[in-house]
Amino acid sequence: MKFDTPAGQNPIDQLKVVGKPTDRIDGKYKTTGTAPYAYERHDVVANQAYGYVLGAGIAKGRVRRIDTAEAKRAPGVVAIVTTLDTPKLGLGKMNAANLFGGDQIQHYHQAIAVVVAETFEQARAAAYLVAVEYAPEAGQFDLAAQAGSAKPVGGGSGEGSGSGPEDRHGDFEGAFAQAPVKLDETYTTPDESHAMMEPHATIAAWEGDKLTLWTSNQMIAWGKGSVAKILSLKPENVRLDSPYVGGGFGGKLFVRADAVLAALGAKAAGRPVKVALTRPLIANNTTHRPATIQRVRIGATPDGRITAIAHESLSGNVPEGRPETAVDQTKLLYAGANRLTGMKLARLDLPEGNAMRAPGEAPGLMALEIAMDEMAERLNLDPVEFRVRNDTQVDPGKPERPFSHRNLIGCMKLGAERFGWAKRNPKPGQVRDGQWLVGLGMAAGFRNNMLTKSGARVRLGRDGLVTVETDMTDIGTGSYTIIAQTAAEMMGVPLDRVVVRLGDSDFPASAGSGGQWGANNSTAGVYAACVKLREDIAQRLGINSADAVFADGQVRAGNRAVPLAEAAASGDLTGEDFIEYGDLSKKQQQSTFAGHFVEVGVDADTAEIRVRRMLAVCASGRILNPKSARSQVIGGMTMGVGGALMEELAVDTKRGFFVNHDLAGYEVPVHADIPHQEVVFLDEVDPTTSPMKAKGVGELGICGVGAAIANAVYNATGVRVRDYPITLEKHFEKLPRVA
């Protein structure tokens, strides 16, 4: 089905099942431990051995020699594959650093061997007996120190945001010089780790040339193509299966060392092999969100109209790596005739930087939305009012291009009302509650909506059960449930008459999970397949499909009503199709919007920061399942608390690795850090996005929330911290004196 004109009325608009707050249909499996994750697929293939990955102990240089003699004699060892036995492998989709093969080391903990043994403990013990001789070289590990050598580059995040090396509209420098009120500040964000609960893990089994990987991956079709490319196999000989994913956050968009080394280990061992990356390898062997140094300049008239806005970002990466696209939202969020955005990329020899939850917008808004708060203060304007005055209904760089639907003002106004924003004291450092300095902060949230082709197959069985098959993944997001809701709505059956099967590359290729594109696109693909199936059913029953109404387990036309199952009486009926898109999203800018509001307390004695209340008001098109959408948004807000206050991969700038490579040293919020969180969805539909009239919402929760926290901290203390995470030593000595 080609979607190239705005959606009219369709069966989804009935909202009998879609749009209802619905418990996850996979919830019972998750909560009873019966949803098997990749490493736990004990029953899919017999005789599984264990692989343990050894990472390089240097950050840059060459592996001179690997001596495996002693390791091979260790108890239980079945096989060892080293990087020196293997030619340098090709890169898969979105991979920048080598995963394996050859003698060159590009980053610390790059995989250099996999040891396969009868048990995990035997594999690990033997791995430490592998003797490696390196020829190390000096590397560059310090982003700030490399600022001078960084080059202007364009690039995309792989998730929709992208920029040229420098994009200009009007005359930024001239307008900024003349602006009566202006700001020129620099903000920094650190390297961050996905720190998902489920590590990267794969079980690999060969049958001749055919390879099956039971793995944990967000993008099955990408993964299948990448594995084929990396291992020089025919794509039809590769199968990936990933029905449950315990978090990915962008770290599992692509194939990583677990999949490649499980496959190579299984080949060498002549039997199936399972590999999980250890926690330290997740920080240094896989990818991370790269650190940024961002300069924001804003010029405005005394009444608060932006006349000039510039956002420039510096990040670093391995040679094939892309820049962090932190400036992208600044092209679209606020009005202003004179604009400049630019990105620079420094060559670093740290592990590969790549997509992490809302790549680009999440760190970009952490800078831009503090800058907006600082400007509002200089203008003596309320931060909400300053943003309202600079709202735009068109792409400011291409005014002929409107937003398809934009209600940022509605988000901010409703948020202000519900949060009690009017009670905020605009003068910082004034409000006390016992030991606590109390502050309120807000920020705008913004993330683009992406359209991408997505397929599905829907089958009606003789028993009347509707089975949906697509390679779409559920990475904790609720895909199973919204896909079931879509099929139930389309076929006119209750939710418990729908079976959803996901994550298998033998199923039709879907949009996959990333860039908050999963929900709208994958359900639109299911919609398209259901339309096909409905036509087939109507035809079998001798009903004109335009007149057929699918409801209550029946197909009705005129005064005829036939049980749905009857259409499949002589055999299962299957509808398969995909949604693909015309140029609606080129003619109109599709984006999602939020108003984030936060209250913090800062301990007047110790400078400790506690988040006390959070509210997000979101405008994201139709919400398919308010319950799972809320879970997504509060998950993003929680990750935003981490980004604002805790998360930072500490770089050893001498040896070139992330030091705090476990969950003891890399701090993420726990339940005790998270206060009352409220999420409100504005009631809206966007007919330009798909027949579902929905948009992405999963990543909107993290976009802007970090700055709202930073702004609340400033309002509490009067001390502005522009260097994330805002840890207490960054403002402790400047806090108001305690009497």
- Which among 135-143, 350-358, 535-543, 616-624 is the span making contact with ligand MOS, rule CB under 6 A? 350-358
Minimum CB–partner distance for residue 254 and ligand MOS (Å): 10
Nearest-angstrom CA–CA distance, 585 and 100: 39
Residue 55 or 512: which CB sits closer to ligand MOS?
512
> Strand, helix or coil at 667?
coil
Query: Which C-beta is closer to ligand MOS: that of 429 or that of 701?
Result: 701
Query: Nearest distance from residue 355's CB to ligand MOS, in Å?
Result: 4
- Which residue's CB is nearer to ligand MOS, number 294 or number 513? 513
Alpha-carbon distance of 487 to 470, in angstroms, equals 12
Q: Kindly state the smallest distance separating residue 110's Cβ from ligand MOS, in Å.
A: 22
Q: Of 15-54, which residues contact ligand MOS (CB under 6 A)? A: none
Residue among 356 and 633 whose Cβ is closer to ligand MOS:
356
DSSP result, 554-592: EEEETTEEEEGGGGGTTS-EEEEEEEEE-SHHHHSB-EE
Minimal distance, residue 291 CB to ligand MOS, in Å = 16
**Which stretch, 8-16, 351-359, 476-484, 593-601, contacts ligand MOS (CB under 6 A)?**
351-359
Single out the segment in contact with ligand MOS by CB under 6 A; choices: 111-119, 168-176, 349-357, 719-727: 349-357
Q: Does 415 bind ligand MOS (CB under 6 A)?
A: no
Cis before 725? omega within 30:
yes
- Cα distance between the two ends of the chain: 70
Is 288 or 389 the residue whose CB approaches ligand MOS more closely? 288
The interface with ligand MOS within residues 145-174 (CB under 6 A) comprises 159
Whole-number Å distance between alpha carbons of 391 and 335: 6
Give 183 or 511: the residue with its C-beta nearer to ligand MOS: 511
The smaller minimum CB distance to ligand MOS, of residues 56 and 245, is found at 245
Candidate list 246, 342, 353, 359; residue touching ligand MOS; CB under 6 A: 359
Candidates 126-134, 138-146, 147-155, 355-363: pick the segment binding ligand MOS (CB under 6 A).
Answer: 355-363
Amino acid occupying residue 695? K
Q: Which is nearer to ligand MOS, 217 or 294 (CB)?
A: 217
Catalytic residue among 159, 312, 580, 699: 699
Please list every residue from 634 through 693 that binds ligand MOS, using CB under 6 A: none
Query: Residue 639 — φ and ψ, nearest 5°?
Result: -65, -30
Q: Report which residue type is found at 70.
A: E
Contact of 619 with 408, CB cutoff 8 Å: yes
CA pair distance 615, 606, nearest whole angstrom: 26
- Nearest distance, CB of residue 363 and ligand MOS, angstroms: 12
Residue 172 has what DSSP assignment? H
Residues 211-270 interacting with ligand MOS (rule: CB under 6 A): 218, 248-250, 253
- Tell me how many degrees the CA angle 100-105-325 measures, rounded to the nearest 5: 85
Q: Which is nearest to 722 in space by CA: 366, 384, 359?
A: 366
Using the CB atoms, write b or e for 424-459: b if 16+ within 10 Å: beeebbebeeeebbbbbbbbbbbbbbbbbebbbbbb
Among 492, 514, 635, 642, binds ligand MOS (CB under 6 A): 514
C-beta of residue 514 within 8 angstroms of C-beta of residue 59: no
Residue 489 a catalytic site member: no
> Which of 256, 271, 357, 534 forms a contact with ligand MOS (CB under 6 A)?
357
Would you say 412 or 616 has its CB closer to ligand MOS?
616
Give the residue among 546, 498, 550, 506 at the shortest CA–CA distance from 526: 498
Size of the site for ligand MOS (CB under 6 A): 13
Record the tokens describing residue 61, joined without a space: 């240089």
Shortest distance (Å) from residue 356 CB to ligand MOS: 5
The 446-485 site mask, x for binding ligand MOS (CB under 6 A), equals: ----------------------------------------
Smallest separation, CB 592 to ligand MOS (Å): 13
Q: Which is nearer to ligand MOS, 249 or 666 (CB)?
A: 249
Contacts with ligand MOS in 113-152 (CB under 6 A)? Answer: none
Q: How far apart are CA 309 and CA 217, in angstroms?
A: 39
Q: Provide the minimum distance between the beta carbon of 45 and ligand MOS in the complex, in angstroms, as a whole number.
A: 28
Beta bridge partners of 593: 446, 619
Question: Which residue lies nearer to ligand MOS by CB, 159 or 382?
Answer: 159
**CB 453, min distance to ligand MOS, A:** 17
The binder of ligand MOS chosen from 55, 476, 515, 643 (CB under 6 A): 515
Give me the amino acid identity at 613: R
Q: Is 428 in the site for ligand MOS (CB under 6 A)?
A: no
Position among 56, 111, 195, 355 found at the interface with ligand MOS (CB under 6 A)? 355
Q: CA 338, 339, 342: angle at the middle one, nearest 5?
A: 155
Closest CA to 653 of 313, 293, 344, 190: 190
Q: Which two tokens stand for residue 678?
A: 């409220």
Q: Minimum distance between the CB of residue 245 and ligand MOS, rounded to whole angstroms?
A: 11
Give the residue at shortest CB distance from ligand MOS. Answer: 250
Phi then psi dihedrals of residue 438, to 5 deg: -115, 135
Given the rule CB under 6 A, which of 146-154, 352-360, 415-423, 541-549 is the region that contacts ligand MOS?
A: 352-360
Residues 6 or more apart in contact with residue 321 via CB below 8 angstroms: 96, 97, 290, 345, 352, 353, 354
User: How many angstroms separate the CA atoms of 641 and 663, rounded?
Assistant: 16
Between 155 and 304, whose beta carbon lies closer to ligand MOS? 155
Residue 28 CB neighbours (<10 A): 11
CB 473 to ligand MOS: min, Å: 10
Give least dist CB 516 to ligand MOS, A.
Answer: 6
Give the Å distances, CA to CA, from 454 to 219, 404, 471, 513, 527.
Answer: 12, 21, 9, 11, 10
* Relative orientation angle of helices 257-269 and 220-230, to the nearest 10 degrees: 50
Among 356, 368, 460, 472, binds ligand MOS (CB under 6 A): 356
- Provide CB contacts within 8 A for 6, sequence distance 6+: 584, 687, 688
Would you give the binding string for ligand MOS spanning residues 296-335, x where CB under 6 A is met?
----------------------------------------
The span of 63-71, 163-171, 356-364, 629-637 binding ligand MOS (CB under 6 A) equals 356-364
Task: Say how many residues make up the chain.
Answer: 739
Should residue 699 be labelled a site residue for ligand MOS when binding is judged by CB under 6 A?
Answer: yes
Catalytic (active-site) positions: 699
Which residues sit at the interface with ligand MOS, rule CB under 6 A?
159, 218, 248-250, 253, 355-357, 359, 514-515, 699
